[in-house]
Amino acid sequence: MEETERTLDTPAPADVPAAPPAAAEDALPAPEAAAAPTVIGPDCFVDRELSWLQFNLRVLREAGDSAVPLLERLKFLSIYQNNLDEFFMVRVGALIHRGIVLPDYTDQKTGWNTATQLRKIMREVARQQETERAVYTGLMQDMAAAGIEVVDFRRISKVDESIARKFFAEYRQLLTPRIVDAEHPMPFLDNREPFVAALLRKREKQSLGIVYLSRMPAYRVYEDEGKQKVLMTDALVRHFAPLLFKKHEVRSTCTIRVTRNADVFIDENMRAEDEDFRSSMEKLLKKRKRQQIVRLQILGKPERHLRELLDKHLKVPEKQVFLSSVPFQLSFGGALNAKEDMKFPERHSVRTVALRKGDYFRYLERNDLLLSFPFQSMTPFVELLYEAADDPEVVSIRITLYRLAASSKLAAALAYAADQGKDVLCLLELRARFDEKNNIDYSEMLEEAGCSVIYGLPEQKVHSKLCLITRKCGDAVKFITQIGTGNYNEVTSEQYCDLSLITSDEQIGRDAAAIFEALEQGQIPEPTEKLLTSPLAFKPRLLELLDGEIAKGSAGFVSIKVNSLNDIDVMRKLIDCSRAGVTVELFIRGICCLRPGLPGFSEHITVRSVVGRYLEHSRIYVFGRGEDAAVLIGSGDLLNRNTQRRVEAFTYVTTADTRRQVLEVMEALRRDDVKGWDMCADGSYAKSPAPRGQSSQAYLFDFFAQQRAEPLPPEKKKRRGLFRFLFG
């Protein structure tokens, strides 16, 4: 799932332990410090990386919220860990690289150099570990009260010891213990894989022992006396380590795990020198596996000499080494027999579109169709592709693909359309991080099925969610265009809140055709009339729309929902809006580098983050109020990468029904005092102490269940008179 809660020295909710107080040099300046200047400066902004870490802390708070079902809390804790892994692999890896290549670089918002950023990141992660430990401890206590225990070998019963010994005997032949000494160098540690490390002694000589766990299941679940018990494999191996190193005395053990830099750099000459870009990407993926270690995690309390041996052989800087008391693998919730109240009540996407294959073209010629995930099913869009595949008037299907499900029904529909003789073009972005291999495999499959496959532009990732169906109806050319905020992925459409607009608007279709024509020729799309694309058209138009609200003064209104915000030009313009008296409300799930509520700067700006059961992912832009408001949706956030380095696509939402539905999403977020966090002037986040309403996601499930799309009645055939029958 790509990705700030209360200030770190503000008390947290009663059931969630607060993080330790911030060090003085890491503390955010008080809002009063930013009120005196008249020039927009660093005090108005928050560092991008620290803002993301605060977002992940809000995820962690969900794991500590007693109102969340027990196993869902465990899932949130696992999500927190996975998010942090990716943060180190991508963001920290890139910062370390930048610090080497550009040591004098400073951030344009905060003025910090890379060394300062990295120091603050490491300190914040270390502080969050204390909250993670407290949340995990509280969670284990609640699970134990519910009859679920994680076996603790420090106080294991005889029965559990006997069961553990049996499991270890089953695993023994799969375990490969190694000794690291002068004749046996340190083995390569795979990214994010756990290993058991042991301090060994033999005849007064100390050495390091390493045990691979990559072929092992992470845990075993069994029942004893009515309780469900979880046996973590790394703890099991540590307990029986003396049986693996029989000729040595085992003095100390711990579990270790390394995180490696995954930010591979693509040589811009690669395309010119290598005709097969797909093969080049495969080489880069192999390179990623062996990149620099950016973090070492140690689970347990290793003896000093064991720490020294790990430092000697791994050479990870001390500030990038983190001692943990929380297991690295927490996915065992799915293996438990869960009581009904331990999980969220089951809710599935509702099929509110009553159209069937053969109904779509007639319906769309008269109506726009808006789909909202996960509240509504993605199936209608897949059915539309099948209808296009079988319609003799359809000439071509063009689509941009960024992330696909492992077993994609949409890809199957595209392959079927190609088999039916349609001209199917798939722009498949091979650089979708951590989905590169999946996309490489799909590019081969789609080519074999008869689709034309092209890749993204050399310097811009194609991140747009755009599909164009072209029909030849007599002498006329007609279009059906789909513009979305999220990927064409049936799995994530059940987990991410996204929007998908399908329209037969002729100008939007012509704009989409021009965009695809540019992409096929390896060019950045030029500005078009109704579809706004980045990097050339969207940001200038966005700034114009903000200027339009500034001209209205206190009557102006801006409401934006995105995942992240750090574009300096956009943030400065939003401050201009606030200074003009414009009401600005921002719904930003993750990174927000703009501080709201600063007197004289952003006092008319509010920022809210919703963190709940589903990942908020839709991008919505509203300028003005009432019928004159401009409403847009699209694929891009307000990060520099979206406005400057990616091809994104946005469209105006113009029909009364679709506008009403989009605006209802914004209204639901506005009312959410259950899962909504409000950003304060000092960059911290606060949650409503006494929620009285309903979470926005729960409300939208009910709202979109009522939004129906029914087939049009069949057209009445005109009766032919006798004269027409005789003479035509």
CA distance 540 to 532: 10
The mean predicted confidence, pLDDT, of the chain is 90
Dump pLDDT digits (tens) for 313-355. Answer: 999 999 999 999 999 999 999 999 999 999 999 999 999 999 9
pLDDT category at 714 given cuts 50, 70, 90 is confident
- Buried b / exposed e over 690-715, threshold 16 CB at 10 Å, is eeeebbbbbbbbebbeebebeeeeee
Dump pLDDT digits (tens) for 140-150. Answer: 999 999 999 99
Q: What is the pLDDT of residue 272?
A: 47
Q: For 389-393, what is the mean pLDDT?
A: 97
The secondary element (H helix, E strand) that includes residue 230 is: strand 227-232
Does the structure show a pLDDT above 70 at 416?
Answer: yes
Asked whether the beta carbons of 503 and 368 are under 8 A apart, the reply is yes
Q: Which residues contact 73 (CB under 8 A, 6 or more apart)?
A: 62, 63, 64, 65, 139, 142
Q: How far is CA 346 from CA 206, 454, 658, in A?
A: 55, 40, 27
pLDDT category at 17 given cuts 50, 70, 90 is very low
Q: What is the pLDDT of residue 154?
A: 92
- Residues β-bridged to residue 198: 209, 253
Q: Is 463 a catalytic residue?
A: yes
Question: What angle separates helix 48-63 from helix 114-145, to the nearest 10 degrees?
Answer: 0
Does the structure show a pLDDT above 80 at 224?
Answer: yes
Q: What is the pLDDT of residue 15?
A: 45
Cα 721–chain centre separation: 63
CA angle 325, 327, 328 (to 5 degrees): 120
Dump pLDDT digits (tens) for 93-108. Answer: 999 988 988 888 999 8
CA distance 209 to 253: 9
- Buried b / exposed e over 191-219, threshold 16 CB at 10 Å, is bbebbbbbbbeeeeebbbbbbbbeebebb
Asked whether the beta carbons of 578 and 603 are under 8 A apart, the reply is yes
- In this structure, what are the phi and psi dihedrals at residue 672, rounded to the nearest 5 degrees? -70, 105
pLDDT category at 41 given cuts 50, 70, 90 is confident
CA distance 208 to 227: 37
Q: Where are the beta strands (DSSP E) in 455-542?
A: 461-462, 466-473, 476-484, 496-503, 531-534
pLDDT category at 684 given cuts 50, 70, 90 is confident
Q: What is the pLDDT of residue 7?
A: 30
**Token output for 639:** 């990060």
Q: What is the pLDDT of residue 10?
A: 31
CA distance 44 to 29: 10
Does the structure show a pLDDT above 90 at 225?
Answer: no
- Residues β-bridged to residue 649: 533
Question: Regarding beta strands 369-373 and 293-299, do their DSSP bridges make them parallel or antiparallel, or are they unpaired?
Answer: unpaired
DSSP string, 613-656: SSEE---EEEESSGGG-EEEEES--BSHHHHHSEEEEEEE--SH
DSSP string, 357-410: TTTHHHHHHH--EEEEETTB-SHHHHHHHHHHHH-TTEEEEEEEES---TT-HH
Q: What is the pLDDT of residue 720?
A: 63
Q: Is the alpha carbon torsion for 584, 589, 595, 598 positive or negative?
A: positive
Q: What is the pLDDT of residue 65?
A: 95
Dump pLDDT digits (tens) for 254-307. Answer: 999 999 998 765 555 545 444 566 666 666 666 656 789 999 999 999 999 999
Does the structure show a pLDDT above 50 at 251?
Answer: yes
CA distance 14 to 38: 39
Q: Which residues contact 372 (CB under 8 A, 6 or more apart)?
A: 497, 498, 499, 500, 661, 665, 700, 704, 707
Q: Which residues contact 702 (CB under 8 A, 6 or more apart)?
A: none
Q: What is the pLDDT of residue 20?
A: 42
Q: For 360-372, what is the mean pLDDT?
A: 97
Asked whether the beta carbons of 193 and 256 are under 8 A apart, the reply is no
Q: Is the alpha carbon torsion for 28, 34, 40, 41 positive or negative?
A: negative
Asked whether the beta carbons of 470 and 479 are under 8 A apart, the reply is yes
Q: What is the pLDDT of residue 182?
A: 82
Cis omega (within 30 of 0) for bond into 374: yes
Q: For 407-428, what is the mean pLDDT?
A: 96
Residue type for position 202: K
Residues constituting the chain: 728
Q: What is the pLDDT of residue 227?
A: 94
Our CA dihedral for 570, 573, 574, 578, rounded to 10 degrees, sits at: 170
Q: For 72-77, what is the mean pLDDT?
A: 98
Asked whether the beta carbons of 683 and 45 are under 8 A apart, the reply is no
More confident residue, 726 or 443: 443
Q: How far is CA 520 from CA 389, 517, 582, 644, in A?
A: 21, 5, 41, 20
**Torsion region of 151: left, alpha or beta (phi above 0 gives left; psi -120 to 50 gives alpha):** beta
- Residues β-bridged to residue 587: 561, 608
pLDDT category at 718 given cuts 50, 70, 90 is low
Q: For 561-583, what is the mean pLDDT?
A: 98
Asked whether the beta carbons of 208 and 199 are under 8 A apart, the reply is yes
Q: What is the pLDDT of residue 9?
A: 32
Residue given tokens 């009120």 in the structure block:
35
3-state secondary structure of 464: coil
Could you give the percent of the chain with pLDDT greater than 70?
Answer: 89
CA distance 666 to 586: 10
Q: Is the alpha carbon torsion for 156, 157, 163, 169 positive or negative?
A: positive
Q: Which of 623, 695, 704, 717 is nearest to 664 (CA)?
A: 704
CA distance 409 to 597: 46
Q: For 585-597, what is the mean pLDDT?
A: 97
Dump pLDDT digits (tens) for 429-488. Answer: 988 788 888 888 999 999 999 999 999 898 899 999 999 999 999 999 999 999 999 999
Does the structure show a pLDDT above 60 at 672?
Answer: yes
- Residues β-bridged to residue 714: none
Does the structure show a pLDDT above 70 at 592?
Answer: yes
**Token output for 101:** 């290549």
Q: Exactly one of 248, 463, 604, 617 is catalytic; which is it?
A: 463
